[in-house]
Amino acid sequence: MKAHRSLTKHAERSFAQLDIGLTDFVILEMLLSKGPQKASRIAERVGLTGGAITSAVDRAEAQGLVVRTLDAGDRRARIVELTPRGRRLIERAFARHSAAMEDATSALTPAELRALAALLKRLGTGAESKLAARD
């Protein structure tokens, strides 16, 4: 837990000067890496409720960072997409974030980082499958 809290602080500090919070960063980064997404898919991946994702997307849209369009395949759904301004912001934020995470993890060797990543991936996948089996 201590490592998680410390890394989260490093992450939040890395983009705080750009006036975005952790939730906004995670949403914008997902759109940068995955492209336009249904709002419901973003909520699922980020771990937000329907109401919370609506508020977060409203906030990003009001700042000119994203636009929402109707999903041609499901008129009830909305597709969220980065605007050029949103893309510029998240690219800057992600560059800062990457540098901060590299600095925060510098106590580990490259081999240790690779091993840690593999173990965390295996742990997450295993824990997720246990939850799915219980549902």
User: Mind listing the pLDDT tens digit for each residue in 14-71?
Assistant: 988 888 999 999 999 999 999 999 999 999 998 899 889 999 999 999 999 999 998 8
Band (102; pLDDT cuts 50, 70, 90): very high
Alpha helices in the chain (DSSP H): 2-16, 22-34, 39-46, 50-62, 84-104, 110-134
The helix or strand, by DSSP H or E, that contains position 85, with its residue range, turns out to be helix 84-104
Q: Which two tokens stand for residue 33?
A: 């890496």
In the predicted model, what is the mean pLDDT of the chain?
A: 93
| Amino acid (one-letter) located at 24 | D
Q: State residue 74's pLDDT score.
A: 83
Residue 96: helix, strand or coil by DSSP? helix
Report pTM. Answer: 0.84
User: Among residues 2, 1, 13, which one has the least CA distance to residue 97?
Assistant: 13
Q: Which two tokens stand for residue 73?
A: 């395949």
| pLDDT exceeds cutoff 90 at 72 | no
Residue 65 DSSP one-character state = S
Residue 128 DSSP one-character state = H
Distance CA 83, CA 130 (A): 38
Q: Alpha carbon of 32 to those of 5, 82, 90, 93, 94: distances in Å?
A: 25, 7, 7, 11, 10
| pLDDT exceeds cutoff 90 at 95 | yes
